[in-house]
């Protein structure tokens, strides 16, 4: 059992060990734009898993991917730098995300298979040439259903091409294909067919941003609201739509906009979310990077109150008439935990150069780590507790079983040797005994015919009978010569009936007639004890139990539950034990003499399996002889006998003195009188019990 528990705990440990590895980790994509003048080498490479190099464009006449000479140098530098700084980062070349890509060019490119092929083949060529591991379409102006359909076709052909390309050269892995898509599949622009995305793209960057437009002059909040109680223009709504349209969450990558909007308030004091504004501030479109916002706040002084609204999941503040709505650390953390909770593929940062000392990138990565660390921490706590509980329960079960066994053993040993214990059974309620009429018994036993006579016991003959219901019974008729009167008879009935035990014959009832007193027992269709003692052999299973019988002497019956005198019990036991080990009726004097001369083994029944371990049998004989010593004061107590028989240390056993000189007949009578309790010899397999007919 203990070994099973240990194995179970081991499995829990193995299971938990594999958990952090299996737990989804967010991909952390950073868009880098060569046009920002931010050197790629300045990126904090520890905070991203993927970096997007932007932006390649499409040649308006050839529809091939076109790179300006300066781009060529930068893109080459990009992949080289990332490989050196953090080779585990995956690099992708992003297309169409720069300033004002020509709508007509992209629309036309996607409209015909030849232009698509030009685009596709050139994109693969350039990706391989500069060492990119993937390609990303960041063109988000596909605003007609024809555009969206064509782009869906493009995805399909693009995938087929990269698939073929990878098969052509087994030494390089297939290019990753991704695209930027609208915040919702129902959006006007960049809402590409879900089926195409699902089948042909590795994932999509969802534009969960830009819900408020600078033209909405009186709306100042939630430019990238995660939740918006007043509008469907929010991240939660869009992500849910994509998933409901059939895109699995692990194809969706959430946008973390590292920018916000600046608005000019109508009244500086009215500066909550939704306060009236006259229009964008600072720039024409009001778009302002996180870095710039932080610098504005810093330059203004320490009195700027930074706010966070958890309804929308947005940060905001106002400086004079300028109101800033943006995602600060709080909003970023909530969005990352949302991405984890929704089991999205990850998040992407638009753009890495907008961050302020990597505050937002770090907050995002930490939030992702924190979740995983929490999980690990949880397991670190839960696991030992679980293991400890299992061990404890296991131990308790084991302990209880052990204690129960111990008690059973103790009880068994008590039962076997101490007839006083049986007296305790007298406190039980009167057993359910049936009184049979003489007519019943005569019918069952064919009028106590000689054919049905099983034998003759100390109290009288015993008959086999069959009741009308088919039950086979043994009827013990009290001999007329018996001195037992009605009271004694009643005592015997009650005593025997109360001594119900697995190993004892069950008393079913009694029959009292003017002439006869009869006890009705369950008939056990097994061999009699005598048969086992003096016929076949004693089976290995039975031998060890045989001499640990319940027994009680006649006085016990006659006096009705009064503790029997020690001598009679002991003599009965001694006689009985010696009978078993010798396999014959034995003169105690002879047994004593042989034992004294060290020839005890000559007495032993050769069929006993224990003969090879003679000390056991000699111990039994020794104990038996102790029981029949002439001086009753020398005889051991029942408990001592029990202890001697159970204890393997034979050195402690006393040396028996001369046995009492009583005749074998007397001895037999003693034994026979005790037969009510001596009828059983039990074992795990066989119960050899029989109403003794002697």
Ligand X SMILES: *[C@@H]1O[C@H](CO)[C@@H](O)[C@H](O)[C@H]1NC(C)=O
* Pairwise CA distance, residues 212 & 220, whole Å: 8
Between the two ends of the chain, the Cα-to-Cα distance in Å is: 49
Joined together, the tokens standing for residue 554 give 């006649």
As measured in angstroms, the least distance from the Cβ of 315 to ligand X is 11
* Pairwise CA distance, residues 51 & 43, whole Å: 10
Scanning 103-111, 291-299, 475-483, 578-586 for contacts with ligand X by CB under 6 A, the matching segment is 103-111
Residue closer to ligand X by CB (options 41, 613) is: 41
Tokens 């019974």, located at residue: 473
SS3 (DSSP) at 255: strand
Scanning 13-21, 308-316, 484-492, 628-636 for contacts with ligand X by CB under 6 A, the matching segment is 308-316
Scanning 59-67, 90-98, 563-571, 685-693 for contacts with ligand X by CB under 6 A, the matching segment is 59-67
Scanning 73-81, 534-542, 546-554, 574-582 for contacts with ligand X by CB under 6 A, the matching segment is 73-81
As measured in angstroms, the least distance from the Cβ of 214 to ligand X is 13
As measured in angstroms, the least distance from the Cβ of 58 to ligand X is 8
As measured in angstroms, the least distance from the Cβ of 229 to ligand X is 8
Tokens 């064509």, located at residue: 150
Residues 156-175 that bind ligand X (CB under 6 A): 164-165, 168-169, 171-172
As measured in angstroms, the least distance from the Cβ of 394 to ligand X is 50
Rule CB under 6 A: is residue 59 a binding residue for ligand X? Answer: yes
Report strand pairing: 517-522 vs 507-512: antiparallel
One DSSP character per residue, 597-646 reads TT-GGGGS-TT-GGGGSHHHHHHHHHHHHHHTBSSGGGSPPHHHHHHHHH
Helix count (H) and strand count (E) of the chain? 22, 23
Residue closer to ligand X by CB (options 101, 455) is: 101
CA angle 325, 327, 328 (to 5 degrees): 110
- Considering CB under 6 A, how many residues would be counted as binding ligand X? 33
Residues 274-303 that bind ligand X (CB under 6 A): 274, 276
Rule CB under 6 A: is residue 305 a binding residue for ligand X? Answer: no
* Pairwise CA distance, residues 515 & 534, whole Å: 35
Joined together, the tokens standing for residue 534 give 């003096």
Residue closer to ligand X by CB (options 25, 77) is: 77
Scanning 55-63, 254-262, 503-511, 634-642 for contacts with ligand X by CB under 6 A, the matching segment is 55-63
Rule CB under 6 A: is residue 81 a binding residue for ligand X? Answer: yes
As measured in angstroms, the least distance from the Cβ of 331 to ligand X is 12
Q: What is the DSSP letter of 260?
A: E
Residue closer to ligand X by CB (options 231, 386) is: 231
The 379-408 contact track toward ligand X, x by CB under 6 A, reads ------------------------------
Scanning 100-108, 333-341, 354-362, 450-458 for contacts with ligand X by CB under 6 A, the matching segment is 100-108
* Pairwise CA distance, residues 135 & 158, whole Å: 10
Rule CB under 6 A: is residue 337 a binding residue for ligand X? Answer: no
Cβ burial of 69 (10 Å; 0-12, 13-18, 19+) is: exposed
Scanning 72-80, 231-239, 282-290, 526-534 for contacts with ligand X by CB under 6 A, the matching segment is 72-80
Find how far residue 592's CA is from the centre of its chain: 64
Query: 55 preceded by cis ω (within 30°)?
Result: yes
As measured in angstroms, the least distance from the Cβ of 215 to ligand X is 10
One residue of 49, 141, 479, 545 binding ligand X per CB under 6 A? 141
From the list 687, 562, 667, the residue with the least C-alpha distance to 624 is 667
Rule CB under 6 A: is residue 61 a binding residue for ligand X? Answer: yes
Rounded to the nearest 10 degrees, the angle between the axes of helix 2-22 and helix 359-417 is 170
As measured in angstroms, the least distance from the Cβ of 251 to ligand X is 25
Residue closer to ligand X by CB (options 84, 439) is: 84
Residues 28-47 that bind ligand X (CB under 6 A): 41
Tokens 């994109």, located at residue: 123
As measured in angstroms, the least distance from the Cβ of 238 to ligand X is 19
* Pairwise CA distance, residues 202 & 176, whole Å: 6
Residue closer to ligand X by CB (options 187, 479) is: 187
As measured in angstroms, the least distance from the Cβ of 309 to ligand X is 4
* Pairwise CA distance, residues 129 & 33, whole Å: 19
- The answer to whether 62 and 112 are in contact (CB under 8 A) is no
Rule CB under 6 A: is residue 215 a binding residue for ligand X? Answer: no
As measured in angstroms, the least distance from the Cβ of 346 to ligand X is 26
Rule CB under 6 A: is residue 587 a binding residue for ligand X? Answer: no
As measured in angstroms, the least distance from the Cβ of 296 to ligand X is 22
Rounded to the nearest 10 degrees, the angle between the axes of helix 235-244 and helix 329-341 is 20
Rule CB under 6 A: is residue 133 a binding residue for ligand X? Answer: no
Query: 351 preceded by cis ω (within 30°)?
Result: yes
* Pairwise CA distance, residues 648 & 655, whole Å: 16
From the list 350, 348, 355, 349, the residue with the least C-alpha distance to 292 is 355
* Pairwise CA distance, residues 576 & 502, whole Å: 20
Q: What are phi and psi of 350, to 5 degrees?
A: -120, 100
Rule CB under 6 A: is residue 74 a binding residue for ligand X? Answer: yes
As measured in angstroms, the least distance from the Cβ of 74 to ligand X is 5
One residue of 24, 44, 77, 482 binding ligand X per CB under 6 A? 77
Scanning 66-74, 460-468, 521-529, 618-626 for contacts with ligand X by CB under 6 A, the matching segment is 66-74
Residue closer to ligand X by CB (options 219, 595) is: 219
As measured in angstroms, the least distance from the Cβ of 51 to ligand X is 13
Residues in Cβ contact with 431 at an 8 Å cutoff, skipping those fewer than 6 apart? 494, 497, 498, 500, 507
Rule CB under 6 A: is residue 357 a binding residue for ligand X? Answer: no
As measured in angstroms, the least distance from the Cβ of 59 to ligand X is 3
Joined together, the tokens standing for residue 357 give 């000392």
* Pairwise CA distance, residues 295 & 283, whole Å: 15
As measured in angstroms, the least distance from the Cβ of 336 to ligand X is 19
One residue of 272, 384, 485, 632 binding ligand X per CB under 6 A? 272
Strands (E), 217-375: 252-257, 259-265, 277-280, 287-289, 307-309, 314-319, 322-326, 346-350
Rule CB under 6 A: is residue 310 a binding residue for ligand X? Answer: yes
Residue closer to ligand X by CB (options 7, 164) is: 164
Q: What sign does the dihedral 571-576-578-579 (CA atoms) show? A: positive
As measured in angstroms, the least distance from the Cβ of 169 to ligand X is 4
Report strand pairing: 453-456 vs 461-466: antiparallel
- The answer to whether 124 and 84 are in contact (CB under 8 A) is no
The 653-672 contact track toward ligand X, x by CB under 6 A, reads --------------------
Rule CB under 6 A: is residue 91 a binding residue for ligand X? Answer: no
* Pairwise CA distance, residues 156 & 158, whole Å: 5
Rounded to the nearest 10 degrees, the angle between the axes of helix 359-417 and helix 290-300 is 100
Scanning 104-112, 152-160, 369-377, 412-420 for contacts with ligand X by CB under 6 A, the matching segment is 104-112
Q: Which residues contribute to the site for ligand X (CB under 6 A)?
A: 41, 59-62, 66, 73-74, 77, 81, 102-105, 108, 141, 143-144, 164-165, 168-169, 171-172, 218, 272-274, 276, 309-312
């Amino acid at each position: 059992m203990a070994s099973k528990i240990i194995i179970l705990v081991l499995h829990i440990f193995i299971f938990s060990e594999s958990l952090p590895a299996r737990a989804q980790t967010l991909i952390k994509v950073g868009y880098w734009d060569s046009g920002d003048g931010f050197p790629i080498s300045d990126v904090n490479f520890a905070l991203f898993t993927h970096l997007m190099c932007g932006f390649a464009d499409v040649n308006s006449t050839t529809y091939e991917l076109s790179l300006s000479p300066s781009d060529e140098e930068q893109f080459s530098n990009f992949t080289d730098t990332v490989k050196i700084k953090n080779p585990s980062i995956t690099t992708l070349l992003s297309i169409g995300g720069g300033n004002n890509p020509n709508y007509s060019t992209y629309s036309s490119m996607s409209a015909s298979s030849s232009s698509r092929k030009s685009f596709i083949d050139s994109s693969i060529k350039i990706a391989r040439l500069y060492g990119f591991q993937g390609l990303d379409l960041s063109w988000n102006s596909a605003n007609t259903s024809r555009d969206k359909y064509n782009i869906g076709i493009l995805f399909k052909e693009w995938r087929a091409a990269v698939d073929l390309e990878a098969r052509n050269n087994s030494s390089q892995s297939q290019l990753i294909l991704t695209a930027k898509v609208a915040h919702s599949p129902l959006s006007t622009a960049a809402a590409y067919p879900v089926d195409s995305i699902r089948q042909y793209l590795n994932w999509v960057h969802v534009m969960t941003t830009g819900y408020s437009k600078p033209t909405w002059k009186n709306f100042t909040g939630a430019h990238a609201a995660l939740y918006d109680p007043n509008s469907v223009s929010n991240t939660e709504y869009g992500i849910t739509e994509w998933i409901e349209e059939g895109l699995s969450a692990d194809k969706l990558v959430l946008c973390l906009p590292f920018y916000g909007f600046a608005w000019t308030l109508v009244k500086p004091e009215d500066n909550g979310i939704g306060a009236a504004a006259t229009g964008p501030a600072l720039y024409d479109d009001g778009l302002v990077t996180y870095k710039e916002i932080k610098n504005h706040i810093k330059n203004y002084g320490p009195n700027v109150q930074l706010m966070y609204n958890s309804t929308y999941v947005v940060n905001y503040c106002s400086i004079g008439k300028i109101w800033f709505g943006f995602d600060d650390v709080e909003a970023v953390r909530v969005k990352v935990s949302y991405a984890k909770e929704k089991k999205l593929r990850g998040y992407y940062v638009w753009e890495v150069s907008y961050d302020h000392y990597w505050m937002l990138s770090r907050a995002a990565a930490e939030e992702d780590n924190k979740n995983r660390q929490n999980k690990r921490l949880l397991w670190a706590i839960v696991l030992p507790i679980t293991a400890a509980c299992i061990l404890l329960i296991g131990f308790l079960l084991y302990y209880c079983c052990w204690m129960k066994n111990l008690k059973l053993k103790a009880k068994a040993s008590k039962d076997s040797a101490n007839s006083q214990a049986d007296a305790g059974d007298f406190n039980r309620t009167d057993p359910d005994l049936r009184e049979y009429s003489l007519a019943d018994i005569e019918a069952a036993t064919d009028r106590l015919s000689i054919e049905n006579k099983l034998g003759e016991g100390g109290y009288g003959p015993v008959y086999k009978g069959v009741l009308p219901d088919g039950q086979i019974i043994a009827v013990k008729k009290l001999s007329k010569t018996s001195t037992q009167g009605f009271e004694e008879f009643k005592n015997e009935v009650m005593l025997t009936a109360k001594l119900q035990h697995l190993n004892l014959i069950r008393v079913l009832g009694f029959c009292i007639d003017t002439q006869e007193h009869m006890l009705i027992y369950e008939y056990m269709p097994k061999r009699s004890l005598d048969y086992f003692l003096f016929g076949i052999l004693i089976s290995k299973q039975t031998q060890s139990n045989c001499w640990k019988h319940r027994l009680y002497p006649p006085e016990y019956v006659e006096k009705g539950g009064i503790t029997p005198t020690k001598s009679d019990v002991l003599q009965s036991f001694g006689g009985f034990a010696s009978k078993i080990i010798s396999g014959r009726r034995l003169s105690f004097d002879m047994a004593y003499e042989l034992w004294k001369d060290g020839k005890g083994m000559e007495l032993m029944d050769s069929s006993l399996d224990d003969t090879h371990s003679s000390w056991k049998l000699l111990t039994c004989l020794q104990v038996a002889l102790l029981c029949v010593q002439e001086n009753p004061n020398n005889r051991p107590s029942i408990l001592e006998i029990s202890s001697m028989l159970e204890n393997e240390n034979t050195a402690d056993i006393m040396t028996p003195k001369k046995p009492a000189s009583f005749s074998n007949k007397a001895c037999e009578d003693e034994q026979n009188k005790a037969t009510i309790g001596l009828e059983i010899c039990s074992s795990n397999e066989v119960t050899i019990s029989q109403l003794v007919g002697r």
